[in-house]
């Protein structure tokens, strides 16, 4: 049973990459060894999957060469495309539901961040689209247009999230243009209206544009899948749920151990001048080799958080050199920048997500009120509350990935933070819980945005003070001007 699950997961993932043209005709798959490492499966499972994909006409296999894609969209039969839609439509809708809550606030926030040169560049992109009925041009325009927009956040995780989710749901965009019939013949005009809204800094129109486009797409995919099901007696198993796997999820094992030890130091599990457990014990705790533990301990020595003595062990040493260590260690710099990026994403999107599930959040108000009295909100408390009540779906998995990055905030607890900013942060937390107790949905969601905006300013202030210049480009839009929800009746013009 377990092997079958690994097989199905790998088979579905690789065929999806081919069908959605992330692995186009003529490209080569990763080597068998790379597939084993990426998907955490055995070589026999990989061999079985590649053999079955060859038999199904997706790839060709040659001795001592990586598998090559031979499947072409133009050769796909209607039956095959219908099978894919029925197989994955629930998962595509799940992904689109996440985009419905996250993409509109992200894109409307760019009204504050786009410069005149950015608007000119986007108009230039549109001018190249002469025939907007061309399927490939439609796909590339939508993808490249939004990629250029989201790049203004200077946040690799936001860009990776969009590209991954878009590539998963772009299949109906490629072969079933009726699913996107709101664009039929007017794609260029629609995006010109969108650019006019960006020029006028009309956040409301931008928000509605993305929100209602995604909602319409969800509706059309549902209708199309129902139509296929009605026309034929199909009994097709559902695909496995889509999971976003950001780049940091593939970090080296020693990096994960390094982070966890710093977290333990920041949480005072290991106090200043205390000896860390012996290498043998750490090796058993983290289930890694002695060599990995030695590498981690050397890194802790290099950044000044610990010192290893022959015959004694490794002793924690907290001193003023910790701030300087951030400038020297590439892992700490990278993690600090990702942490700031995660706070940026949560600040922009959490208000809309909380509004969607506010009624469920009300049951947690007594617990949250008790936590705030003890000042237990450390940047993840409100997000944790949302995760508790979210159903198991794509949105929860996405937010959990950002939540895992927010736990890296322990780097900054080792440094001296601005006390006034910290006090203001806790004041915002108290106000937010107050709105929740009073059942004020709009007040709570707005205040939650202020909470994470305050956390963003605390970390940015600290990062700049210790000299992490890589975070200078990461900015927040005017949070107060962001719409919290869509307009029910959308006007035709901005």
User: DSSP letter string over 26-66?
Assistant: T-BPPPHHHHHHHHT--HHHHHHHHHHHHHTTSEE--TTS-
What pLDDT is attached to residue 220?
80
Q: How confident is the model at residue 494, as a pLDDT?
A: 40
- Count of positions (residues) in the chain: 494
For position 235, what pLDDT does the model report? 67
Q: What are the structural domain ranges in the chain?
A: 6-69, 77-231, 253-316, 330-481
How many other CB atoms are there within 10 angstroms of residue 223's CB atom? 12
Same fold, 77-231 and 330-481: yes
- Return the bridge partners of 314, or none: 308
398-424 b/e with 16+ CB inside 10 Å = b?
bbebbbebbebbbbbeeeeeeeebeee
Whether 309 and 315 have beta carbons less than 8 Å apart is answered as: yes
CATH architecture of 253-316: Orthogonal Bundle (1.10)
Question: For residue 306, is it left (φ>0), alpha (ψ between -120 and 50) or beta?
Answer: beta
Q: What is the CATH number of domain 77-231?
A: 1.20.120
Q: Is 236 helix (H, G, I), strand (E, B) or coil?
A: coil
- Give domain 330-481's CATH architecture: Up-down Bundle (1.20)
Q: pTM of the prediction?
A: 0.78
Mean pLDDT, contiguous 10-residue spans, the chain (494 residues): 61 78 81 82 89 90 90 60 75 91 94 91 80 62 86 91 80 48 58 90 92 85 79 67 72 78 77 87 89 88 82 79 56 81 94 94 86 66 89 90 78 68 85 92 94 89 79 90 81 40
Q: How many CB atoms lie under 10 A from the CB of residue 49?
A: 26
CA-derived radius of gyration, the chain: 25
pLDDT in the model for residue 464: 80
Element of type H or E holding 96: helix 78-109
What is the fold of 6-69? Arc Repressor Mutant, subunit A (1.10.10)
Residue 16 has what pLDDT? 75
């Amino acid at each position: 049973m377990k092997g079958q699950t690994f097989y199905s997961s790998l088979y579905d993932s690789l065929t999806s990459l081919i069908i959605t043209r992330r692995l186009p005709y003529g490209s080569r798959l990763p080597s068998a060894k790379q597939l084993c490492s990426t998907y955490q499966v055995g070589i026999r499972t990989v061999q079985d999957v590649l053999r079955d994909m060859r038999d199904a006409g997706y790839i060709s296999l040659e001795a001592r060469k990586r598998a090559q894609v031979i499947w072409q969209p133009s050769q796909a039969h209607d039956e095959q495309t219908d099978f894919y839609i029925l197989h994955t439509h629930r998962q595509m809708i799940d992904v689109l539901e996440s985009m419905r809550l996250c993409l509109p606030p992200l894109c409307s926030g760019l009204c504050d961040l786009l410069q005149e040169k950015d608007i000119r560049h986007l108009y230039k992109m549109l001018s190249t689209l002469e025939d907007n009925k061309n399927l490939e041009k439609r796909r590339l325009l939508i993808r490249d247009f939004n990629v250029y927009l989201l790049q203004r956040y200077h946040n690799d995780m936001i860009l990776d999230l969009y590209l991954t989710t878009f590539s998963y749901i772009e299949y109906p965009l490629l072969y079933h243009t009726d699913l996107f019939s709101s664009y039929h013949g007017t794609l260029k005009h629609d995006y010109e209206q969108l650019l006019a809204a960006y020029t006028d800094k009309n956040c409301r129109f931008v928000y509605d544009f993305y929100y209602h486009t995604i909602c319409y797409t969800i509706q059309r995919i549902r209708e199309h899948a129902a139509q296929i099901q009605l026309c034929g007696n199909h009994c097709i198993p559902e695909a496995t749920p889509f999971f976003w796997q950001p780049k940091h999820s593939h970090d080296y094992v020693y990096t994960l151990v390094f982070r966890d030890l710093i977290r333990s130091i920041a949480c005072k599990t290991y106090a200043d001048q205390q000896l860390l457990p012996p290498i043998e014990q750490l090796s058993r705790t983290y289930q890694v080799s002695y060599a990995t533990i030695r590498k981690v301990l050397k890194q802790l020595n290099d950044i000044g958080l610990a010192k290893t003595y022959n015959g004694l062990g490794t002793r924690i040493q907290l001193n003023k050199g910790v701030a300087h260590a951030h400038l020297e260690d590439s892992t700490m710099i990278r993690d600090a920048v990702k942490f700031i990026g995660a706070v940026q994403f949560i600040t922009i999107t959490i208000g809309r997500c909380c509004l969607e599930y506010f009624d469920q959040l009300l049951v947690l108000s007594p617990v949250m009120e008790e936590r705030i009295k003890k000042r237990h909100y450390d940047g993840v408390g409100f997000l944790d509350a949302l995760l508790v009540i979210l159903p198991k779906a794509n949105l929860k998995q996405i937010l959990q990935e950002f939540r895992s990055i927010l736990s890296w905030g322990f780097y900054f607890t080792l440094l001296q933070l601005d006390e006034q900013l910290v006090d203001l942060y806790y004041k915002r937390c108290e106000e937010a819980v107050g709105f929740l107790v009073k059942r004020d949905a709009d007040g709570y969601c707005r205040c939650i945005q202020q909470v994470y905006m305050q956390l963003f300013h605390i970390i940015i202030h600290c990062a700049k003070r210790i000299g992490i210049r890589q975070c200078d480009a990461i900015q927040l839009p005017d949070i107060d001007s962001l719409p919290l929800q869509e307009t029910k009746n959308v006007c035709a013009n901005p």
